Amino acid sequence: MQPPRDNSRATMRFRKERPRVPTRRLLSTSSSAANLRLIASTAALACALAVAPAAGYSRENPVTRQPGAPTLGAISAILVDAETGQVLFEKNADARRPPASTTKIMTATLLLERTLPSDIIVASKRAAETEGSSLNLKPGERISAKDMLFGLMLRSANDGCVAVAEHIAGTERAFAAEMTKKARSIGAASTTFRNSNGMPDPPNVTTARDLATMARYAAQYPAFNEVTRTKYRAISRSINSKDTRLTNQAKILWRMPEADGIKTGYTTPAGRCFVGSATRGGWRLISVVLHAKDKEAETAALLKYGFAQFERIKLVEPGTEFGSVRIRDGEQPSTQVVADGALTWIRRRGSKDEPTIRATLHSEIVAAPCLMGSKVGRLDAIVAGRTVVSVGLVTASAAALSSAAPSSGFLGGRQAAFVLLLIGCVYAAKTSKDSRRRRDRLKAALRGDYLSW
């Protein structure tokens, strides 16, 4: 079956050096204007070299000189381990670039987090008039949140993004502010969104590193992964019922068996962009290429490079014990401390490096009541004095407050915590702009319905 036509070692940081600009000593002359012109031209050249993205590899970036590293035409690129975020390759990964439709990774994330699959999204007149790739929405058309998710990620529907934004935040601008807030909260600090779909709208900006961070975050949702690896999908809609078949724009799904996403993008300022992904033997890598000459080929080259040149080593299994902490005022004196997840390190094949494992507790005493899974420290893998990967240390069991513990006020600690939680829930429900919908989502979460995403 032919692909569709496109419509739309360890983490290491290296000191960035300033570009060296050829200069010459200014000769004494009677013409000060000539000197000023020479100074101006030299300064202009320096500025151009400082801000213009390099078309090839940066000489200051040793990662690109590693054996087997692909030659990319992309202005910016990065390859990371999906589980740990460990960087395996980078090229101008912090250069700020327009995101184009890769923006929709964050739009989809908020759709997953703030709606139920069965929620109905109604297209406004403004959404229906949105330019670019679209679902050809009609004003008043109704589509479920689940089908809209496929519309955003497969057809790259700009009009669907606006409809989602208005459904969640009231206006697209307010939704873009929420997108920016979310991006920065997960570590994508150089990203600013001005709209929900990536249409040119300065300062709509991101970086290859930030896009990898956002993709890793979104990939924690099984529904997101299901959508991004889907080639074809038929959706239900209330008006435009003849336009229901969606085709994924990521050609790599047809060309590389291990590929499973994630999102294409194109605008004139951004060029051809792609956040890609592939999984081999349970090991997933995420790649980003921005303003690429051939986004599919360069993505495939990056992913194949990662699988060929690196290997995944599990250093610590989830739940491995690392001592204990004492419980103050608890019904039990202590609780075990365990690794919150697997501590996994990606090492270049043939390397003899062996990391040192270091466990660090925030405190040796934890106050009751304490929930199971409360974070109490960190587990680091260290190579050559540098932390290459980390995972949290958490309590292995809950610790209730002792009945003999001193009471603060008219209620004991557990009762007071319950009352505060109840007050918070009531306040949130009463101050909600749409309390009914929020109550429905809360009930669904308590029933476990979010697992259906």
Domain that holds residue 342: 317-395
Give, to the nearest 10 degrees, the angle between helix 172-185 and helix 104-114: 90
Q: What angle, rounded to 10 degrees, do the helices at 158-169 and 172-185 form?
A: 90
Instruction: Centre a 10 Å sphere on the Cβ of residue 334 and count the other Cβ atoms it contains.
Output: 17
346 lies in some domain: yes
* Among 1-10, 253-262, 319-328, 366-375, the least confident range: 1-10
> Where is average pLDDT lowest: 256-260, 390-394, 417-421?
417-421
Q: Which of 35-49, 136-150, 430-444 has the lowest mean pLDDT?
A: 35-49
Boundary-marking domain end, from 284, 313, 342: 313
Whether residue 276 has pLDDT greater than 50: yes
260 shares its domain with 116 = yes
- Domain boundary (257, 290, 313) is at 313
Q: What is the mean pLDDT of residues 75-80?
A: 98
Residue type for 166, please? E
In CATH, what number is assigned to the domain containing residue 257?
Answer: 3.40.710.10
Q: Is the pLDDT of residue 193 over 70?
A: yes
**Domain contains 391:** yes
Lowest mean pLDDT across 67-81, 193-207, 302-316, 392-406: 392-406
Tokens 């319905």 appear where?
449
Q: Is residue 336 part of a domain?
A: yes
Same-domain status, 85 and 118: yes
pLDDT at 200 over 70: yes
Among the candidates 295, 313, 331, a domain finishes at 313
Both 381 and 429 in one domain: the answer is no
Same domain, 205 and 180: yes
pLDDT digits (tens, 9 = 90+) for 292-323: 999 999 999 999 999 999 999 999 999 999 99
Higher pLDDT: 35 or 168? It is: 168
Average pLDDT value over all residues in the chain: 83
Which phi-psi region, left, alpha or beta, contains residue 48 (left: φ > 0; alpha: ψ -120 to 50)? Answer: alpha
CB 88 within 8 A of CB 208: no
Least confident range of 49-58, 229-238, 327-336: 49-58
| One domain for residues 302 and 328 | no
pLDDT higher for 263 or 30?
263
438/443 Cα distance (integer angstroms): 9
Instruction: Give the mean pLDDT of 12-22.
Output: 34
The percentage of the chain sitting over the pLDDT mark of 70, rounded to a whole number, equals: 75
Same domain, 330 and 279: no
Q: What is the pLDDT of residue 450?
A: 47
The answer to whether residues 231 and 155 belong to one domain is yes
Tell me the two tokens of residue 394: 């958490």
The verdict on 321 and 238 lying in the same domain is: no
CATH number at residue 388: 2.60.410.10
- Span 374-396, pLDDT tens digits: 999 999 999 999 999 999 999 99
pLDDT tens profile 176-190: 999 999 999 999 999
Contact of 246 with 232, CB cutoff 8 Å:
yes
More reliable by pLDDT, 401 or 81: 81
pLDDT band (50, 70, 90) for residue 65:
low
- 303 and 334 share a domain? no
| 376 in the same domain as 445 | no
- Does residue 7 or residue 177 have the better pLDDT? 177
Q: How far apart are CA 258 and CA 253, in angstroms?
A: 8
Residues 146 and 263 in one domain: yes
Least Cα distance to 357 among 384, 385, 380 occurs for: 380
- Judge whether 149 and 223 are in contact, CB under 8 Å: yes
pLDDT at 435: 46
Q: Is residue 291 part of a domain?
A: yes
| Domains in the chain, number | 3
Is 10 part of a structural domain of the chain? no
- Provide the pLDDT for residue 57: 28
Are residues 321 and 307 both part of a single domain?
Answer: no
E strand or H helix that includes residue 238: none
Which pLDDT does position 406 carry in this prediction? Answer: 65
Secondary structure (3-state) at 94: coil
Cβ proximity of 269 and 222 under 8 Å = no
Q: Is 190 exposed, middle or buried (0-12, 13-18, 19+ CB in 10 A)?
A: middle
Question: Based on C-alpha coordinates, what's the Rg of the chain?
Answer: 26
Q: Tokens 């006020």 appear where?
A: 409
Residue 389 domain-assigned?
A: yes
In a domain, 284, yes or no: yes
In a domain, 48, yes or no: no
Q: Which two tokens stand for residue 385?
A: 């004095």
Q: Where are the beta strands (DSSP E) in 95-253?
A: 120-122, 142-144, 232-234, 245-247
